[in-house]
Amino acid sequence: MLALSIFPLIFSLGLTFTNVNLFRRTPIRFVGLENWARIFSDEALLETLVNTVIFVGGGVAIQYALGLALAVALNQGLREQRLMRVLFLLPMMVSPIAVGFIIGRMVFSEGFGPINDMLQALGLPAVAWVTSPGVAKWTIILVDTWQWTPLMMLLILVGLQGIPGEPIQAARVDGASEWRIFRHIVFPLLLPVSITAILIRALEAFKIIDIIRVVTGGGPGRATESVTAYVYNVGAKQGDLAYAASAAYVLLFVVIGVSFLALYVMRRVQARYE
Amino acid sequence: MKGRLITRAFLVAAAFVTFFPLYWILITSFKTQLDIVVNPTYLPWVDFMPTLEGWRWLLTEARADVIRAITNSLIVSGGSAVIATMLGAAAGYGLTRFQYRWRFWRNEDIAFWFISQRMLPPVAIVLAFLLMFRWLSLLDTQVGLTIAYTGFAIPFTVWIMRDAFAQVPLELEESAGVDGASAAGVFFRISLPLALPGVVGSMLFAFVFAWNEYLFALMLTFQEATTVPLLLASRITSFGTHWDQLSALTLTNLIPAAILGIMLERFLIRNRTEGSLK
């Protein structure tokens, strides 16, 4: 575990102080803080960072809300519950490559996609899913939400199984409404699991790249390009591995900062209930 | 009564949004290229003639490749899911039952260190893996890929199992201890069975993660140990996308994961701890 985690970390950190380039045959030398200085004047990096934060903030919030609702709905002992739990898990098992191509590209296609076709059949205007900078961000969030809400549902379902039944039954005997029981007993007990689910999902969402590359290619302009996509373009396409590693480190710092902040806030919320 | 109605309406709406894209993948696997890229068509025999071309390709020309890729995927994903869940359970149990202290490091810091391993973008570390695996002769082997995926999944399985064990009442373990059970006995007979829903969540997560991982499979395998995502990506060529083959393969790829889901779902049931505490 230590080897798997520390070697890549140090290796990439070392890269950031060099001029390693895949395509140029210049001798490798140390350039000190040159790459790091470039970071601060890089407007493209800033724009992709803002995009990434929008994807993570918007996407994970929607996924948590929907996942929580689904998990609670599928934990009430409905007759079809067991079948529905498995069926609702399916989207996260579909290969992201297929999700990007078949759903992102075909279903949301502005030319031959069924969504615009159905909207127009209902007399509504077609939506510019990938060609409008504002809408394209939402298309990415929608596709991401379709695929990953099931993971939220799964983790919250796991958490629901560990909640003791006595306080809920006692509250029910006292005549508390279902909403009050959820709000004051179930939800607080779900907080630790919620923190884990949100953190897991957010960490993966910060690295979002596949859907973007397939569905919008980062466009229009840079409207949907994430930091990881930017790192990939700089590193793999332009060959500038050293600068790509530096940009990746910027993302790492942002993620660590956001995680600390999020954990702190969530622990405070949790403490209020204890 | 009203609550039930709202629940059902919500589930029906969610079901439509969930299943329409899956339905689309299904019908796309029976379409000709022409039926796909001109206008959207919805119903077989009504607005397009279904063809078995995509499935024929899967079961004849590509058969050997498909079987090898699925076998590799099963070994790598199954192996890493089991190992990562076992190690995650051990670490998660330790982090909830014992207080560790090393300099200023506490349990919370250790847990954060685990999860921090997933913060660097994969493109930034894949090169380091390539070098490390070449040095260890692990390139293009099932073992190598299993080790990589286990490493990626552990941070998450530790957190999932930590939550699961935190929900197991301490009193139960203590009373078992008083009754003469050993520490290992308490873990395997009391704690682990009660944390079974966590094991389900952890296994499914780790399995699906490895099952669909693309970048590291691309960089660390070439021929012998290639997995299904690579085969899927090969359907997208610079001459165009073989939509029917891509869809057929996607559905085939979904089946083993769905079977695992069906097998594990039965353990997603409430802890039966009520009445066991007196």
CATH number at residue A127: 1.10.3720.10
A103 touches chain B (CB under 8 A): yes
Residue the block writes with tokens 């029976």: B30
Q: What is the pLDDT of residues B190-201, one digit of tens each?
A: 888 888 999 999
Query: A73 in a domain, yes or no?
Result: yes
Q: How many CB atoms lie within 10 A of CB B24?
A: 19
Q: Does some domain include residue B188?
A: yes
User: Pick from B51, B77, B35, B53: which is nearest to B235 by CA?
Assistant: B53
Look at residue B108 and tell me if it is in a domain.
yes
Alpha helices in B136-187 (DSSP H): 142-166, 170-178, 183-185
pLDDT for the residue numbered A17: 81
The total domain count for chain B is: 1
- Alpha helices for B29-62 (secondary structure H): 33-37, 53-59
Contact (CB<8Å) B121/A209: yes
Q: What is the mean pLDDT of residues B5-26?
A: 89
Of A8, A98, A161, the CB nearest to B246: A98
Q: Is residue B222 part of a domain?
A: yes
- Cβ contact, residue pair B254, A5, below 8 Å: no
**B169 belongs to a structural domain:** yes
Q: Does a structural domain hold residue A13?
A: no
Selecting from A86, A92, A106 the residue whose C-beta is nearest the C-beta of B265 gives: A86
**In this predicted structure, what is the pLDDT of residue A223?**
85
Residue of A16, A106, A238 to mutate, interface with B, max B Cβ within 10 Å: A106
Report yes or no on B57 lying in a domain: no
Q: How far apart are CA A250 and CA A38, in angstroms?
A: 12
A88:B40 CB<8 A: no
Q: Would the CB atoms of B124 and A85 count as touching at under 8 Å?
A: no
Residue among B19, B39, B129 whose CB faces A112 most closely: B39
CA distance A254 to A217: 23
Q: Is residue B214 one of the residues assigned to a domain?
A: yes
DSSP letters, A109-157, are -TTT-HHHHHHHHTTPPP--TTTSHHHHHHHHHHHHHHHHHHHHHHHHH
pLDDT score of A156: 94
Mean pLDDT of B70-96: 93
8 Å CB contact between A243 and A259: no
The predicted model gives B94-98 an average pLDDT of 85
Looking at the structure of chain A, the number of domains it has is 1
How confident is the model over B79-86, as a mean pLDDT? 95
Write the pLDDT tens digit of every residue in B210-243: 998 988 888 888 888 888 888 888 888 777 788 8
- For the ranges A138-152, B55-69, B172-186, the maximum mean pLDDT occurs at A138-152
Confidence band of B269 (pLDDT split at 50, 70, 90) = confident
Q: Is residue B42 part of a domain?
A: no
Look at B71 and B41; give whichever has higher pLDDT. B71
Q: Inter-chain contact B148–A4, Cβ cutoff 8 Å?
A: yes
Our measurement of the distance from residue A215's CA atom to the centroid of its chain's CA atoms, rounded to an integer in Å, reads 16
Q: pLDDT for A159-180, tens place per residue?
A: 998 888 888 888 888 888 888 8
Question: So what's the pLDDT on residue B277?
Answer: 47
Domain enclosing residue B117, as ranges: 67-265
Please determine, for residue B76, whether its predicted confidence score (pLDDT) is greater than 90: yes
Q: Name the range with the highest mean pLDDT among A17-31, A63-77, A202-216.
A: A63-77
Domain that holds residue A221: 39-273
Cβ of A107 and B24 within 8 Å? yes
State residue B208 phi and psi, 5-degree precision. -65, -40
Closest residue on chain A to B5 (Cα): A73
Measured between CA atoms, the residue of chain B closest to residue A233 is: B123
From CA A70, how far away is CA A65, in angstroms rounded?
9
Give the mean pLDDT of chain B. 85
Q: Is A184 on the interface with B (CB under 8 A)?
A: no
Out of A84, A97, A161, the one facing B270 most closely (by C-beta) is A161
Per residue in A36-78, pLDDT (tens digit) is: 878 788 888 888 889 899 999 999 999 999 999 999 999 887 7
Predicted confidence at residue A1, as pLDDT, reads: 60
User: Is B275's pLDDT higher than 50?
Assistant: no
User: What value does the mean pLDDT take over residues A239-264?
Assistant: 84
Band the pLDDT of B273: cuts 50, 70, 90.
Answer: low
Q: What pLDDT was estimated at residue B252?
A: 92
Closest of A117, A165, A147, A169 to residue A215, by C-alpha: A147
Kindly report the CATH number assigned to the domain that includes residue B173: 1.10.3720.10
Nearest to A154 among B40, B204, B247 (CB): B204
| Domain assignment present for A253 | yes
Using a CB–CB cutoff of 8 Å, tell me whether A185 touches chain B: no
A78, A102, A119, A139: best mutation site toward chain B, by most B Cβ within 10 Å? A102
Query: What does the pLDDT read at residue A274?
Result: 67
Contact A193 B163 (CB under 8 A): yes
Q: Do A7 and B214 touch (CB under 8 A)?
A: no
Report the pLDDT value the prediction gives residue B271, as an integer from 0 to 100: 59
Examine the pLDDT at A32 and tell me if it is beyond 80: no
* Distances in whole angstroms, Cα of residue B85 to Cα of each of A15, A182, B14: 33, 30, 30
- The whole-angstrom separation of Cα B198 and Cα B200 is 5
For the record, the structure tokens of B44 come out as 């077989």
Q: Read off the pLDDT of each residue in B119-138 and give the average, rounded to a whole number.
A: 81
Facing B156 at nearest CB: one of A146, A200, A263: A200
**pLDDT attached to residue B156:** 92
Closest Cβ opposite residue B132 in set A7, A161, A165: A7
Q: What is the pLDDT of residue A146?
A: 94
Q: Give the 3-state secondary structure of residue B195.
A: coil
Give contacts of A241 with chain B, Cβ < 8 Å: 127
- B74 vs A contacts (CB less than 8 Å): none
| CB-CB neighbors (< 8 A) of B268 in chain A | 85, 157-158, 161
- Find chain A residues with C-beta within 8 A of B236's C-beta: 97, 101
Give pLDDT, residue B278: 39
For the beta carbon of residue B278, count every other beta carbon within 10 angstroms: 5
Residue of B nearest to A202 (CA): B119
Q: Closest-CA residue in chain A for B212?
A: A95
Give me the residue from B10, B38, B197 closest to A69, CB to CB.
B10
A 192-251: CB under 8 A from B: 192-193, 196, 199-200, 203-204, 206-207, 209-210, 227-228, 231-232, 235-236, 241, 244-245, 248-249, 251
Tell me the nearest-neighbour CA distance from B69 into chain A, angstroms: 14
